[in-house]
Structure 1
Amino acid sequence: MIASATTSPRIDLWELAQRGGMLMIPISFVSLIVVTFGLERMIALRRRKVLPPVLFDGLDRLAGQKGGLDPRRAYALCQKYPSTASRVILDMLLRLGRPHGEVEQALRDASDREAGRLYANVRWLSLAAGIAPLLGLLGTVGGMIQAFFETANLQPGANRADYLAEGIYKALVTTFAGLTVAIPAAILAHMFEGRIQRLFRELDERVARILPHLERFEGRLRANHETRDASEFPRYPIPRDNGEARRRAAEQAARAEQAQQKK
């Protein structure tokens, strides 16, 4: 009994992979995708990269200062610590002075855009979780067809049961490999999706605490545009980072200068 136990055959995983046939190549490629994007998302979705504590600590200090939160300093702070949170807050600061509803819409748009960025590589994991078992099933079906075909064409007197068992054994290798890749991919995709949702819930809470400190600017930029009075614009400077904003500011200054010359 002891002798039979020590001489029992063992499954060699490398030999098993070789027996899987050509479809083991795309399954191996999918497994490489899972490992690559799994590690990449683990690094990218760390909390300090999405919601850097130093950014929100700085914003809290600015909000607690006498005179309230200074948009210029908040803008510089967001540029100093680039992250998902800082890009969302920058979009809010760039619309400072607009109606409250417009600012909130900008926040939603920025959040959707940043969420799309974070979800981008998670979709590859979801795709791998769906396609790996299908590749395995395809290999198994093809292997079963081959096994039954060869068994049916054996010479009379051959051991058909043993030959068929070996064919089925080889055919099931791809299904095993596909599931081995798909299960971790599905777990990782679900874990990362949950992490992204938690991070954005916290981001919403953080931004909701900043918004009341910016309400005093509502309507002031709009009033300056309506009166076309550029002299009051620097009192509440709105940070801009694009050429269109600079062009509009130059046009405003030119119109103000023309108005003064007419007087």
Structure 2
Amino acid sequence: MLLLQAIDTAHKVIDTVGKAIQPSAAAPQEELRIGDLLVKGGWVMVPIGILAVLGLVIFFERYFTIRKASKDESNLMGMVRSSILSGKLDSAIAICKNSNSPLGRMLAKGLLRIGRPIKDIEGAIENIGKLEVSKLEKNIAILGIVAGIAPMFGFLGTIVGVIKIFFDISKTDNYSLSVISGGLYVKMITSAAGLVVGLVAYVLYNILNIMVDKVILKLETDAIEFIDLLEEPSK
């Protein structure tokens, strides 16, 4: 008799546990969405987002500008060479001005100085070259600033998250995960976002600098070739 009662009690317990587990098992699991995570990062995500947008805008604007300046100018050098050798100085100047390129503006300044000592021509070309390089480097430094500031905002978010954790604990006097999760979200999300934005900005900053260095090397090579061309008749 006692055995039958024990078995009956066990069945009742199993049924109760099964009913308790069933609703939780049937409940749909909450999906982890990037948008929701960014929102949980708090107000610190706003400046980090602004820095991310600013960095991308500067990169693409500078990228296409530098890429345009780095196009092959062998045809320009060939036409200038043939015009100079045939004595058509005005034609060479017009070709350089119509090219609307950094090399064209450098050569045009040098052609306008023909008749003066070679050192004066070199100085004029060098000065224009510096101006052209400064135009290419415009705003690139801002991208470097973004690379440095974004992780600092992430660290600021970490501090804000820790403050939020202690504030929530002081209000509820509860150390459960549900209480501190809000501060943990702010802490981890802002740190990750700041590091990602800073890392991407740093990579893009160096890519632009490498592109500018290649343009500078090309301009210097073409400038040397142009000076050699002017010295040929006097050799």
Q: Which amino acid aligns with 1:36?
A: V
Match of 1:147 in 2: 165
Find the partner of 1:14 among 11, 35, 48.
Answer: 35
The aligned residue for residue 43 of structure 1 is 64
The question of 1:192 aligning with 2:192 is answered no
AA at the equivalent of 1:126: G
Kept in 2, the 8 Å contact 1:87–1:110? The answer is: yes
Alignment equivalent of 2:219, drawn from 196, 203, 208: 203
Deviation at 1:102, TM superposition (A): 1.9
Give distance in 2, aligned partners of 1:40 and 1:182: 19
Which residue does 2:138 correspond to in 1? Answer: 120
2:89 paired residue number: 71
Q: What residue is the counterpart of 1:238 in the other structure?
A: none
**RMSD over aligned Cα atoms:** 2.6
Q: TM-score, normalised by structure 1?
A: 0.70
Q: Tell me the distance in 1 between the aligned counterparts of 2:230 and 2:107.
A: 12
User: Is the CA contact 2:154–2:191 (under 8 Å) kept in the aligned structure 1?
Assistant: yes
Deviation at 1:50, TM superposition (A): 5.3
Equivalent residues, number: 210
Q: Deviations over 1:161-211 (max 9, x none)?
A: 542344123222112112222212111110111111111111111121111
After TM superposition, which residue ranges in structure 1, 4 or more long, deviate above 4 angstroms?
7-10, 47-51
- 2:9 match: none
Matching residue's letter, 2:197: V
Equivalent residue, structure 2, for 1:92: 110
Residues 151 and 164, structure 1, Cα contact 8 Å, conserved in 2:
yes
- Does residue 124 of structure 2 align to residue 106 of structure 1? yes
Contact kept, 8 Å, 1:34 with 1:125, in 2: the verdict is: yes
Measured after TM superposition, the shift of residue 54 of structure 1 is 3.3
Amino acid at match of 1:39: F
Q: 8 Å contact 2:157–2:186 — kept in the other structure?
A: no
8 Å Cα contact 2:144-2:205 kept in structure 1: yes
The answer on 1:25 being equivalent to 2:43 is no
Write the deviation string for residues 107-164 of structure 1: whole angstroms up to 9, x where unpaired: 2211111111100122221121111111221122122122123223423xx3445423
**Structure 1 residue corresponding to 2:196, chosen from 153, 177, 180:** 180
Alpha-carbon distance in structure 2 between the residues aligned to 1:58 and 1:216 = 17
Per mean C-alpha deviation after superposition, the further-off stretch among 33-42 and 208-217 is: 208-217
| Aligned position for 1:256 | none
2:115 maps to a residue whose letter is: G
Q: TM-score, normalised to structure 2's length? A: 0.78
Structure 2: tracts of 5 or more residues without a match: 1-24
Give the AA of the match of 1:122.
Answer: I
Q: Note closer, same or farther for the CA distance 1:95–1:160 as it changes in structure 2 (3 Å cut).
A: same
Of structures 1 and 2, the larger Rg is shown by 2
Q: Secondary structure at the match of 1:120?
A: coil
1:186 is aligned with what amino acid?
Answer: Y
